[in-house]
């Protein structure tokens, strides 16, 4: 299998599906001739032309509104929002139209689309290019939300998302766009939506994370192991619907759990995970569930590394939870 980074894996998935299905259309700001601000769509314009790789005006609401029309017509649009921070002008289209069409039409118009967007900090982008708004979409019925951590999962999850009958928000952690490298299967390859991945076995406590922070959680878990704390690390991959069975099975085994995400703490996905764990595995817990997250502030520029829940912030939470 060839080795790819996440950018290359996503590009490979887009190219493969566009070759297989002429209903697949890519649209967004600078996705065509430029190949996207992060070059994720590089080369697609030359191969598929302006009718299927469409440079749009700078109008996020217009991009998603256009994609809605395409989807209802029978196409499978993949609109790109250049940064997840810019998705809010399209929030009404996503929440009021994209998420509702399948339900309001009794399944006649499923509004198939995958909304791709880079997410998170780590590139010194400041407060308008570094946010993690996933919880605001997880709360919306009718949407699926995906955030891969590895190159192979990025390809497999994206192909599965394009073929899914529901609209999918596909968050791409830009901090590891080129840092996350690995072998990626060629050709047709999918990863089932709604299935988490246990990437490290352990019996002392469960660590749940996703996206770029998975690597920080893994680093903290390796350091904890030096002190005899064996962490089981779960990569969520699909943020909604959650693979709650994998999570609960792990928590029942370890009795302790730490959740890591870079989005702000209050009303983040970590809070929902804590609630579900308490509902389904309360009698198995030997310590209070703990969250290590971003702060309830606008994302900072000069203090970016203090804001992110990096390994040095995660490790004390692992140690304290294990020794509770």
- Which residues are known catalytic residues? 129
Where does 236-303 have alpha helices with state H? 244-254, 269-281
Question: In this structure, what token pair is assigned to residue 33?
Answer: 């001739």
Q: Which CA distances in Å does 274 have to 39, 200, 291, 309?
A: 37, 21, 8, 18
Q: Which CA distances in Å does 222 have to 15, 140, 229, 230?
A: 37, 36, 9, 8
State how far the Cα of 197 lies from the Cα of 237, in Å rounded to an integer: 7
Q: With left for phi above 0 and alpha for psi between -120 and 50, is residue 228 left, alpha or beta?
A: left
Quick check: 154 and 6 in contact, CB under 8 A?
A: yes
Instruction: Output phi, psi for 272, to 5 deg.
Output: -65, -40
**Burial degree of 33 (CB within 10 A; 0-12, 13-18, 19+):** exposed
Q: What share of the chain is helix, strand, coil (3-state, %, to 5)?
A: 40, 20, 40
Question: In this structure, what token pair is assigned to residue 239?
Answer: 């943020």
State how far the Cα of 84 lies from the Cα of 168, in Å rounded to an integer: 14
* Of 206, 269, 194, 203, the residue nearest 237 (C-alpha): 194
**Burial degree of 10 (CB within 10 A; 0-12, 13-18, 19+):** buried
């Amino acid at each position: 299998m060839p080795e790819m980074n996440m950018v290359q894996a996503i590009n490979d998935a887009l190219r493969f599906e566009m070759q297989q299905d002429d209903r697949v259309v890519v649209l967004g700001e600078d996705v065509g001739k430029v190949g996207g601000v992060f070059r994720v769509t590089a080369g697609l314009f030359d191969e598929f032309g302006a009718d299927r790789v469409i440079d749009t005006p700078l109008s996020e609401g217009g991009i998603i509104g256009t994609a809605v029309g395409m989807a209802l017509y029978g196409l499978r649009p993949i609109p790109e929002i250049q940064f997840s921070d810019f998705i809010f002008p399209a929030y009404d289209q996503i929440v009021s139209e994209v998420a509702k069409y399948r339900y309001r039409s009794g399944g006649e118009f499923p509004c198939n689309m995958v909304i791709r967007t880079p997410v998170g900090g780590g590139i010194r982008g400041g407060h308008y290019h570094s946010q993690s708004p996933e919880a605001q979409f997880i709360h919306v019925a009718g949407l699926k939300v995906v955030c891969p951590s590895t190159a192979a999962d990025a390809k497999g999850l994206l192909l599965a998302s394009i073929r899914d009958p529901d609209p999918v928000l596909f968050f791409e952690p830009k901090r590891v766009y080129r840092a996350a490298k690995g072998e990626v299967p060629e050709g047709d390859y999918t990863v089932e939506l709604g299935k988490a991945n246990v990437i490290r076995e352990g019996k002392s406590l469960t660590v749940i994370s996703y996206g770029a922070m998975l690597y920080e959680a893994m680093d903290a878990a390796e350091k904890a192991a030096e002190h005899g704390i064996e962490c089981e690390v779960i990569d969520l991959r699909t943020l909604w619907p959650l693979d709650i069975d994998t999570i609960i099975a792990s928590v029942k085994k370890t009795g302790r759990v730490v959740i890591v995400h870079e989005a702000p703490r209050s009303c983040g996905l970590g809070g929902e995970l804590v609630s579900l764990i308490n509902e389904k595995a309360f009698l198995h817990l030997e310590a209070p569930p703990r969250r290590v997250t971003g702060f309830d502030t606008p994302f900072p520029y000069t203090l970016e590394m203090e804001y992110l829940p990096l390994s040095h912030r995660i490790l004390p939470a692992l140690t304290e939870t294990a020794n509770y």
